[in-house]
């Protein structure tokens, strides 16, 4: 069990919901993009009302198939603007999706509680120093800057263990860490630096880690982010992310049944309903 922000996750706690708010116009799922004060405020209030336990803010798209790099200054400006609006509207815990130390530092100085680093502290060599300074809750994602091969599950576990070692060196408490197997970020090719290169079928890789989530967790809570992702589009032959809602819900339900403790989603209301029923039907669930 862990404490992420002020919310207990894992163990006997219900699966939590992390709503996605992208302050980056280039993000792949346009319905998640909010850039004006009114849009951000309304989006967050709506997600909170629908059952979100956290809000995750992104200031730069990291989808492997997009060339969407922006400057640190731009990423930070987008995030800080959204953080201020959210903090003036609600007390919901805020997560910032960044792997850049300067951006994380700026956000943490403004009282952000959670850093969601898709590189697992590996992209920016200063990130361990920043998290050591502020002691936030951490979401560590599986990542390697080198090409990986071999068993998908074992490889993912090793990459996560490497990130856990970095967190330990930064004196991070294990009770504030959640692991993410990085669905969608293992690819044969990509246009940005934020994915792990593999030689094998990336759809099979994503399916393997979701099917073996309890093993990959390694006694930590697990976060999965599958909503509207490419593997769903490949399986269902739906190229447009807007057509992947039902596939997303099915993947989220299966993930919760397989041990996911947090579901990061673009579709808060639908996801909340789906995983509430899934949790009641789980063999691990006790009582009503």
Q: With bands split at pLDDT 50, 70 and 90, how would you rate the model's confidence at 287?
A: very low
288 in a structural domain:
no
- Residues whose CB falls within 8 Å of the CB of residue 89, separated by 6 or more in sequence, listed in order: 41, 44, 45
Q: Taking residues 224-249, what's their average pLDDT?
A: 95
Q: With bands split at pLDDT 50, 70 and 90, how would you rate the model's confidence at 194?
A: confident
Asked whether the predicted pLDDT for residue 267 surpasses 90, the reply is: yes
195: domain range? 2-281
How far is the CA of 12 from the CAs of 9, 102, 159, 212, 287, in angstroms?
A: 8, 36, 27, 20, 11
127 in a structural domain:
yes
- Residues whose CB falls within 8 Å of the CB of residue 71, separated by 6 or more in sequence, listed in order: none
- List the one residue out of 139, 197, 202 whose CA is nearest residue 210: 202
DSSP secondary structure code for residue 242 in this structure: G
Terminal CA-CA length for the chain: 21
Q: Which two tokens stand for residue 48?
A: 């909170």
Predicted confidence at residue 190, as pLDDT, reads 83
Predicted confidence at residue 26, as pLDDT, reads 64
pLDDT digits (tens, 9 = 90+) for 118-169: 999 999 999 999 999 999 999 999 999 999 999 999 999 999 999 999 999 9
Angle 227-232-234 (CA atoms, 0-180°, nearest 5)?
150
Q: Taking residues 221-230, what's their average pLDDT?
A: 96
Q: The CATH number of the domain where 17 resides is what?
A: 3.20.20.20
Query: Does residue 121 sit in helix, strand or coil?
Result: coil
Asked whether the predicted pLDDT for residue 30 surpasses 60, the reply is: no
Q: What is the CA radius of gyration of the chain?
A: 17
Predicted confidence at residue 66, as pLDDT, reads 67
pLDDT digits (tens, 9 = 90+) for 81-112: 999 999 999 999 999 999 999 999 999 999 99
Q: Taking residues 199-215, what's their average pLDDT?
A: 96
- CB atoms < 10 A from the CB of 12, how many? 9
81 in a structural domain:
yes
43 in a structural domain:
yes
Q: With bands split at pLDDT 50, 70 and 90, how would you rate the model's confidence at 64?
A: confident
Asked whether the predicted pLDDT for residue 172 surpasses 50, the reply is: yes
**What is the C-alpha to C-alpha distance for residues 204 and 182, in angstroms, rounded to an integer?**
13
The beta strands (E) that lie in the chain are given as: 2-4, 7-9, 16-22, 54-58, 94-97, 114-117, 137-141, 177-180, 186-187, 196-197, 223-224, 262-265
Q: Taking residues 197-207, what's their average pLDDT?
A: 95
286 in a structural domain:
no
**What is the C-alpha to C-alpha distance for residues 285 and 178, in angstroms, rounded to an integer?**
21
Q: Taking residues 9-37, what's their average pLDDT?
A: 81
Q: Which two tokens stand for residue 113?
A: 């509680």
Domain count, the chain: 1
Predicted confidence at residue 284, as pLDDT, reads 62
287 in a structural domain:
no
Per-residue HEC secondary structure of 184-205 comes to CCEECCCCCCCCEEECCCHHHH
Angle 7-246-50 (CA atoms, 0-180°, nearest 5)?
35
């Amino acid at each position: 069990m862990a404490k992420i922000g002020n919310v207990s996750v894992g163990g006997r706690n219900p699966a939590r919901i992390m709503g996605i708010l992208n302050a980056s116009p280039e993000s792949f799922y346009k319905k998640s993009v909010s850039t004006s004060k009114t849009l951000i405020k309304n989006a967050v209030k709506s997600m909170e009302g629908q059952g979100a336990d956290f809000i995750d803010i992104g200031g730069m798209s990291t989808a492997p198939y997009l060339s969407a790099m922006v400057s640190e200054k731009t990423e930070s400006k987008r995030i800080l603007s959204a953080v201020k609006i959210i903090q003036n509207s609600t007390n919901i815990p805020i997560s910032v999706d960044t792997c850049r130390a300067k951006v994380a530092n700026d956000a943490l100085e403004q009282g952000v509680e959670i850093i969601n680093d898709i590189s697992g502290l590996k992209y920016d060599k200063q990130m361990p120093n920043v998290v050591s300074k502020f002691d936030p809750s951490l979401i560590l994602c599986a990542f390697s800057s080198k090409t990986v091969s071999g068993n998908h599950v074992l490889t993912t576990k090793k990459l996560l263990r490497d990130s856990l070692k970095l967190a330990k060196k930064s004196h991070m408490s294990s009770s504030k860490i959640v692991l993410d197997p990085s669905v969608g970020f293992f690819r044969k090719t990509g246009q940005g630096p934020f994915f792990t290169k593999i030689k094998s079928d990336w759809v099979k890789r994503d399916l393997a880690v979701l099917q073996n989530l309890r093993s990959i967790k390694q006694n930590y809570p697990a976060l999965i982010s599958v909503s509207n992702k490419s593997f769903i589009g490949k399986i269902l032959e739906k190229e447009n992310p807007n057509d992947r809602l039902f596939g997303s819900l099915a993947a989220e339900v299966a993930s919760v049944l397989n041990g996911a403790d947090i579901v990061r989603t673009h579709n808060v209301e639908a996801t909340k309903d789906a995983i509430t029923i899934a949790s009641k039907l789980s063999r691990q669930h006790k009582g009503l």
